[in-house]
Amino acid sequence: MAFCYIAGMDHFLYKDGILHAEDVPIPEIAAAVGTPFYVYSSATLTRHYRLFEEALAGMDHLICYAMKANSNQAVLRLMASLGAGVDVVSGGEYRRALAAGFAPERIVFSGVGKTVEEMELALSGGIRQFNVESEPEMALLSSVAVRLGKVVPITVRVNPDVDAKTHEKIATGKAENKFGIPISRAREVYAQAAALPGLKVIGVDVHIGSQLTDLEPFEQAYLKVSELTRSLRADGHTIERLDLGGGLGIPYERSNLAPPLPLEYGEVVRRTVGDLGCEIEIEPGRLIAGNAGMLIASVIYEKSGEDRDFLILDAAMNDLIRPAMYGAYHDIVPVIEAAPGEGQKPYDVVGPVCESGDTFTKQRMLNPAQSGDLIGFRSAGAYGAVMSSEYNTRPLIPEILVHEHQFAVIRARPTFDEIINRDTIPEWLEGSD
C-alpha cells in the first residue's frame, strides 16, 4: 500500500501513449465537455481515504474529510459512502455536508470567525462538535445554545506555537497566526468554557497548517496536546476526543522526495497521543483530494517572445490560482505522450487573463506543443476548483468524476446568460441605455 502511494500516487496513467483517468481516455472527456475542466478519480479519492483508515487502525478514530479542499457534492457523497466524517468551516459547507448525506453526528465545525447564523444553523440541524477558537466565540456559542435549549459539545482549538515549516499563507500554528488560543492560556480558557451553561467540553483541537512535508511539527504539536490533555484532566475536565487537524502534504513535484506517508503520520499519532484513551479525529483535505484531480486545458497559442516561448492556455489563474497565490508548483504533462527522444524546451505557461500574475510556471522544460494540444496539471484536485472564480467573465469550469470506465459531469459549466443574469440593474438605471 505504502509503495502504491509513492509509485502509483494516482490513477492518471498513460495507456498506449494517451493519458487516462482510470479507464477513461482524457481526450474523450475533452471532446464531450470542452476544455478546460477538472477531472477527479474515484479510485484515488477512495485509496487516499483508506490510507488514513489503515494508518489509524486499532485506534478509536474518525476521519473528518476537510471539505474546503474540494467540496463538490459528488466527492462528498463518495466520502460519506466510505464512512468518513467531515470538517466544515462555514454555514455553506455545513449545508453542503447535509446535502451530500453526512449524518449531523459526523460533522465537525471549525473556523476562526463563526457567526450567530452559522451557530444557529448547526445547532438546529445537529453537529458532532464545534471547535472553538476564542473566548468571545465560546461565550456567544454558549448563549446561542442556551437560547435554543441545547448543550453543544466543544473542543478548544489550541495554538501550540510550532513552526509547520510550510508556506507562510498556510501555516496556522505559530503564535503570530490568527488561529486558536495560545496553548499557554489553555487551562484558564477551559475553566471558562466549563463554566458556560451551553457548552460541554469534550476534547482538544489542534491544526498547525497545510502541505506539511515533515512529521516533526506534528510530533511537537501532538506532544503538547498530550501534555495539555493530562493537565486538563487533572483540572477535572473530561477530555475524551482529540481533533488533530489535517495538513499532511502531498508530492507536487514527482521528481522530488515524497512527503511522509499517512502510515508514518499514523505512527506519530500513536506515539504521541495513543496512550490517552481518546477518540482520535483527523481532518485531512489535501492528501485525499490533491492527487486525485487534474486540470486539463488546451493550448490556444504557442507564442515566441523576445527571449522566451510561451504556451498560452485556455485555463487561467481564475481556474487554478495556486501558482499565482502561493507560487505553487504543479507538474504539467502532455495528454498525448511525447514521442521518445523528442527534445524538450523551456516554456512560460500562462493563461489569457490580463495580469502578469496569470502565469502557471516560468521556463519549465516541456515537450514542444502547438495550438489545440491538450495539457494536464497534476495534483489539482485540492484547492483548485474550490478557489476558482469567474474573473474576466470566464465561466467556472466543469468538474468531472471518473469511476473505472465511466465519467460524469459533476458540475456543469454555466452559460453566459446564467453568469450575466446574476447581476441586476437597479430601477433608477433601467431604460437608461
Ligand X SMILES: *Cc1c(COP(=O)(O)O)cnc(C)c1O
Q: Is 71 a residue that touches ligand X (CB under 6 A)?
A: no
Q: Is 245 a residue that touches ligand X (CB under 6 A)?
A: yes
| Closest to 129 in 3D by CA, of 119, 139, 144 | 119
Using omega within 30 degrees of 0 as the cis cutoff, is the peptide bond preceding 217 cis? Answer: no
Among 87, 314, 358, 399, the residue binding ligand X under the rule CB under 6 A is 87
Q: Is 241 a residue that touches ligand X (CB under 6 A)?
A: no
Whether residue 4 lies in the annotated active site? no
Pick between residue 47 and residue 403 the one whose CB is nearest to ligand X: 47
Residue spans of alpha helices (H) in 134-290: 135-147, 186-194, 216-234, 262-273, 286-289
**At 247, is the secondary structure helix, strand, or coil?**
coil
Place of cell 487537524: 245
Buried b or exposed e, range 16-27, using 16+ CB within 10 angstroms: eeebbbbebebe
Q: Distance between CA atoms of 6 and 90, rounded to whole angstroms?
A: 33
- Size (the chain), residues: 433
Q: Is 334 a residue that touches ligand X (CB under 6 A)?
A: no
Binding track over 180-219 against ligand X, x by CB under 6 A: ---------------------------x--x---------
Q: Is 266 a residue that touches ligand X (CB under 6 A)?
A: no
Q: Is 286 a residue that touches ligand X (CB under 6 A)?
A: yes
CB of 86 to ligand X, least distance (A): 11
Stretch that binds ligand X, among 66-74, 227-235, 296-304, 319-327 (CB under 6 A): 66-74
Among 56, 66, 100, 208, the residue binding ligand X under the rule CB under 6 A is 66
CB of 398 to ligand X, least distance (A): 23
CB of 285 to ligand X, least distance (A): 3
Size of the site for ligand X (CB under 6 A): 16
- The gap between the terminal CA atoms of the chain, to the nearest Å, is 64
**Phi, psi (degrees; rounded to nearest 5) at 204:** -125, 145
Evaluated on CA atoms 391, 395, 398, 399, the torsion sign reads: positive
Beta strands in 271-426 (DSSP E): 279-282, 293-304, 309-313, 332-334, 345-350, 359-366, 374-377, 399-403, 406-411
CB of 209 to ligand X, least distance (A): 7
Q: Distance between CA atoms of 313 and 374, rounded to whole angstroms?
A: 9
CB of 112 to ligand X, least distance (A): 9
CB of 221 to ligand X, least distance (A): 13
Binding track over 100-129 against ligand X, x by CB under 6 A: ----------x-------------------
Pick between residue 49 and residue 347 the one whose CB is nearest to ligand X: 49
**Phi, psi (degrees; rounded to nearest 5) at 277:** 70, 25
Q: Is 284 a residue that touches ligand X (CB under 6 A)?
A: yes
Q: Any idea which residues carry the catalytic annotation?
A: 354
Q: Which residues bind ligand X (CB under 6 A)?
A: 66, 68-69, 87, 89, 110, 207, 210, 245-247, 283-287
